[in-house]
Structure 1
């Protein structure tokens, strides 16, 4: 890849990873519009690492507090809001891990196509619109509870279907369960840490056994651009989501789905 391709793809990954608009749908577009070849496994590892670092650094205080409280709940039997939140996030990660291992090959073989992505982009966009209109309780992430955490975890597992959007599915489920917009987003972002870390480890393992030639200069640039884009995206989204709601992202998803349909039927 040349420098322009690296920057564009890293920006796409960083900006769409945490917005409820589907990164997989967007990563299809450069190939469709510009005829670019697949960016390769090593680049996927790099940009995902950049996004993961962004969310870890942005929520470093919360994550550290949760980690300490979680350790205290195990070794000292001490339970507080942070330890409960940590356990809920662990619980919410389990469905995606199970589905990921069980259906990885099926998803890669049968669902990674533009028809599926176009459908899920539109359908889950409409579900996000409905959830945003119906939510009213305004619960915080510390009021989730294990049942709601498990349901949101199932939504995260469904997001393994390309075009669904991990953040979109989890925010939608959280809104349906009564969380406020910012709390739903924060819980979704915190949930991304263990699942993204696990995915990064697995993809890195695949990379090391693939024999793929690694362009370290391109990977470094991809990590930096993805990190900056993701960090800015998280910050701006959390600042604005309570005021603007999900409607702008719903409209965008519908427009994107329509554009993908044009490619399908053209």
Structure 2
């Protein structure tokens, strides 16, 4: 997506630290984005409803409502990309946030430049999802595995005809796995192809693990004993090998 030819992107920043809000507002506005900032969880929800942002940057520790409560309420109605801000060392918070539906996280203290890069990544992926979706006729690029079907033209998944709600990142991850069905993919490759960055430390790969867990919970008949998304021990994850004759989707470059 070319930011120069598009309408300004709407970004919601929710953090109770005034200096963080001020720095991010200034830097993102200088890049041409429309930025709304909230000092607590309640205000964040109000702004979310009125602004309808393209991406949300959400701190965990906030008054009124914490980031987890805000995240849950947003996810109940929207698949908008969400980046969570967590305190250094709070690994449990990061995992909880990802399980609740966050697309990515940043650890405080963080580099504003790195956060901007993460925002660009999730927005690019969301833009690709929207650009490839549509209301036209169902494409032949559909796979069916039992009562589960995945439509790569509409970027939707169905179980027994009922749509399964997937976030943009979840579908991107599923698309990557299916495109290389039968082949183990390591976590580093998944981070680079789906999230758009190489991890700075090994713990960053938890983003992949939690998203895999979320996908299994939504797609597998028995998530504890997965038959679609398998763990390739010591290698990563692998989607089950597709039957002969099933068309596999192509993946665009990150």
Place the TM-score, normalised by the shorter chain, in its bin.
Answer: under 0.3
Higher helix share: 1
Higher strand share: 2
* TM-score normalised by the chain length of structure 1: 0.25
Taking CA–CA contacts closer than 8 Å with sequence separation of 6 or more, which of the two structures ends up with the larger relative contact order?
1
* TM-score normalised by the chain length of structure 2: 0.25
